[in-house]
């Protein structure tokens, strides 16, 4: 599941920083664009993170002018809290964008925290999760702008909670596999997958992690998102609106839950608000200067609940912020930048490559 496999990336390293970057082009063929840069970030939970990231963008077929560029990304990151992750992401666009495929895998350890019973008040509990995962998806265009796809993944997550117990007692530990298969439908009319200024991206994804796949408990996950892009000021500025929800239901394990934070609603970094289902809505205004610099302004609301029947019984969590952008790979429309946001009793600072909701 998305949270089960990539929660380390979301909580620790969801928005990477490029403190310096370089676009390396083959001047004769101009087929390959490469960026290799150091990574720096700060989270109130993970503290300072540092590492290296490398990304390459290229066409699988030079004669294919319709498909977006495929990409290969590799990251290795460590933090002062002894959290770490090493992962790779391979994304393919080919056959005039009739086919899309994505494969990712990695290992990591997150020294994080969870807030016990935040609905009624409680306290933070530290925990450590080690995860190994491989996941992939493939989709086929079946009509203009419409894709049908299949997904699957295997993972193991070992979570150990740091509770104040006598030395003679063991810390509570959850060591489980979380394997899934799924399907999704996507309507994608964006004019660019990295930085669209017009169109929409609508996706509905269903994943199941049943006991028949080797899991200790069975649960399902439904993920919905609707991104809308509107050009402003002759296309120089962009308005983006997003609805996003992810709902786990059934016998949901700890790693199958969803946390407020990351691009789903910026302004939260402590991991305080966590439950089986997350719902959010937000908007972003992107202003581009005549140079390669730009500004973004964003805001929205999110909530987490155990089930949809309680959606209007809990407070909405606001998030608002701003960020700066610099166009580092003009041909691919890849920005780097930094976002700062505030939420309810929380805040976040995010250094990033690419804009929110890209790819």
What pLDDT is recorded for position 124? Answer: 84
- Condensed to tens digits (0 to 9), the pLDDT of residues 185-202 reads 999 999 999 999 999 999
Flag whether 303 is in a domain. yes
Flag whether 124 is in a domain. yes
d(CA 260, CA 262): 7
Flag whether 358 is in a domain. no
Flag whether 345 is in a domain. yes
Q: Is the pLDDT of residue 5 over 60?
A: no
Flag whether 12 is in a domain. yes
Q: Work out the burial of residue 287: count CB atoms within 10 Å of its CB; fewer than 13 is exposed, 13-18 middle, 19 or more buried.
A: middle
Mean pLDDT of 230-250: 92
Q: Is the pLDDT of residue 320 over 70?
A: yes
Ranges 37-41, 73-77, 279-283: which has the least confidence? 37-41
- For 104, other C-beta atoms within 10 Å of its C-beta total 19
Give the CATH number of the domain where residue 124 resides: 2.40.160.50
Q: How many CA atoms lie within 13 A of 55 on its CB side?
A: 24
Domain count, the chain: 1
Flag whether 359 is in a domain. no
Mean pLDDT of 3-31: 40
pTM of the entire predicted model: 0.84
Among 5, 33, 37, CA closest to 20: 37
Flag whether 207 is in a domain. yes
- Average confidence score pLDDT of the chain: 85
- Residue range of the domain that includes 247: 2-353
Q: Is the pLDDT of residue 174 over 90?
A: no
Flag whether 130 is in a domain. yes
Ranges 27-36, 123-132, 287-296: which has the least confidence? 27-36
């Amino acid at each position: 599941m998305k949270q089960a496999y990539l929660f380390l990336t979301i909580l620790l390293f969801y928005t990477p920083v490029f403190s310096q970057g370089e676009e390396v082009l083959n001047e004769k063929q101009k087929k390959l664009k490469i960026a290799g840069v150091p990574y720096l970030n700060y989270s109130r939970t993970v503290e300072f993170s540092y590492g290296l990231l490398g990304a390459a963008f290229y066409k699988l077929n030079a004669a294919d002018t319709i498909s977006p560029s495929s990409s290969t990304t590799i990251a290795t990151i460590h933090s002062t809290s002894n959290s770490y992750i090493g992962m790779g992401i391979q994304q393919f666009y080919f056959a005039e964008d009739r086919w899309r495929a994505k494969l990712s895998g990695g290992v990591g350890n997150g020294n994080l925290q969870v807030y016990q019973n935040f609905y009624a008040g409680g306290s933070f509990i530290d925990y450590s999760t080690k995860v190994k995962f491989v996941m992939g998806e493939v989709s086929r265009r079946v009509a203009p702008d419409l894709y049908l796809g299949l997904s699957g993944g295997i993972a193991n997550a070992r979570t150990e909670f740091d509770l104040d117990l006598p030395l003679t007692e063991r810390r509570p530990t959850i060591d489980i596999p979380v394997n899934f298969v799924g399907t999704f439908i996507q309507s994608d009319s964006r004019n660019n997958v990295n930085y669209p200024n017009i169109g929409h991206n609508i996706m509905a994804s269903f994943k199941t992690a049943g006991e028949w796949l080797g899991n200790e408990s069975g649960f399902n996950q439904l993920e919905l998102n609707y991104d809308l892009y509107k050009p402003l000021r002759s296309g120089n500025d962009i308005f983006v609106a997003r609805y996003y929800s992810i709902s786990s239901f059934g016998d949901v394990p700890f790693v199958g839950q969803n946390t407020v934070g990351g691009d789903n609603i910026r302004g939260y970094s402590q991991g305080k608000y966590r439950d089986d289902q997350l719902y959010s809505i937000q908007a972003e205004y992107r202003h581009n200067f005549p140079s390669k610099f730009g500004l973004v302004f964003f805001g929205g609301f999110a909530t987490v609940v155990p089930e949809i029947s309680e959606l209007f019984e809990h407070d909405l969590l606001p998030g608002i912020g701003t960020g700066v952008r610099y166009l580092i790979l003009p041909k691919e429309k890849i920005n780097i930048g930094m976002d700062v946001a505030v939420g309810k009793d929380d805040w976040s600072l995010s250094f990033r490559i690419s804009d929110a909701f890209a790819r």
